[in-house]
Amino acid sequence: MNHFLNHHSENWDEFRWEREMRRDEKRISRYFRELPHCIDLPGEEEIIFDELMRDPGLVPSGVSPEEYHRYFIWDPESSGDEEDDDEVSSGRESEDMEFTPRLDALLTEWNFLAAAHFPDSDREYAMGISCLYAKLIGRIGDAVAAPDSESALKKCLFKRSLKDLNNLCSELVNIPEHLECDAEVSHALGVLQVLREKIIDRI
C-alpha cells in the first residue's frame, strides 16, 4: 500500500501533496543520519522514531504520532495484512503495470554489467546509478498504487517520477567513456524514453 495514503488528506491538492513529500524526504534523510549512531542498539527503531518526532518539521501532517508509529515500526507479523496490489486501484490502466518490470529489467542488466566489467574504482559510481533506478522504481510504484480517487496525489507522484527519470537519463548520457558500455546505455535510454512518454501521458 502506498504509505502516503495513511495521511488524513481530504481535499489536498497537488501542491499540498508536494509539500508533504518534501517533508517525507527530510525524514528519510534524517533517518539515515541517525541510523549509524543507533544501529544494533536494543530498540534502535524506537530511538530513531523518538528523535524524528522531536522535530516539528519532520512530523507528518494529518497523522497522529500513534498512527505514524504503526507505519514506522515494521511488524513482520502484520506485514501481510495490507491490501493486495490488484485491489488498490480498480481503475488502473494495464499499461501502468509495465513500468516496474521494465525498470527492474534495466536495473538487473546494469548491475550485471557493472559487476562483470567495471573496474573496482568505478563501483561506487555504478552503485549510484543503481540507486537512481531503485528510487525511480519506488516512486513509480507509489504512483501506480495510488487509487484513481486520489488524483492529486497520483499526479504529484508521476511528476516526481518524471523528474527522477530525467535525472537518471542525465547520468547515463554522461557516463565515463572508459567504461565502454555505449550499446547497453543506448538500449537503456531507449526504454526510458518510452517510459518517459507514458509518464507524461499520465500527468
DSSP assignment string, 83-134: PPHHHH-TT--GGGGGHHHHHHHHHHHHHHHHHHHS-GGGHHHHHHHHHHHH
63-95 per-residue burial string, b: 16 or more CB within 10 A, e: under 16: beeeebeeebeeeeeeeeeeeeeeebbeebeee
Instruction: Name which of 171, 168, 157, 175 is nearest 192 in CA terms.
Output: 168
- Cβ neighbours of residue 162 closer than 8 Å, sequence gap 6 or more: 196, 199, 200, 203
DSSP state of 46: H
* DSSP structure string for 120-178: GGGHHHHHHHHHHHHHHHHHHHHHHHS-TT-HHHHHHHHHHHHHHHHHHHHHHHT--GG
pLDDT at position 89 is 44
Q: How far apart are the first and last CA of the chain?
A: 21
Q: What is the pTM of this model?
A: 0.75
Residue pLDDT tens, the chain, 203 long: 455 555 556 678 888 898 888 888 888 888 888 888 888 778 888 888 888 888 877 777 766 666 666 666 655 555 444 444 444 444 445 556 678 899 999 999 999 999 998 999 999 999 999 999 999 999 999 898 888 888 899 999 999 999 999 999 999 999 988 988 999 999 999 999 999 999 999 88
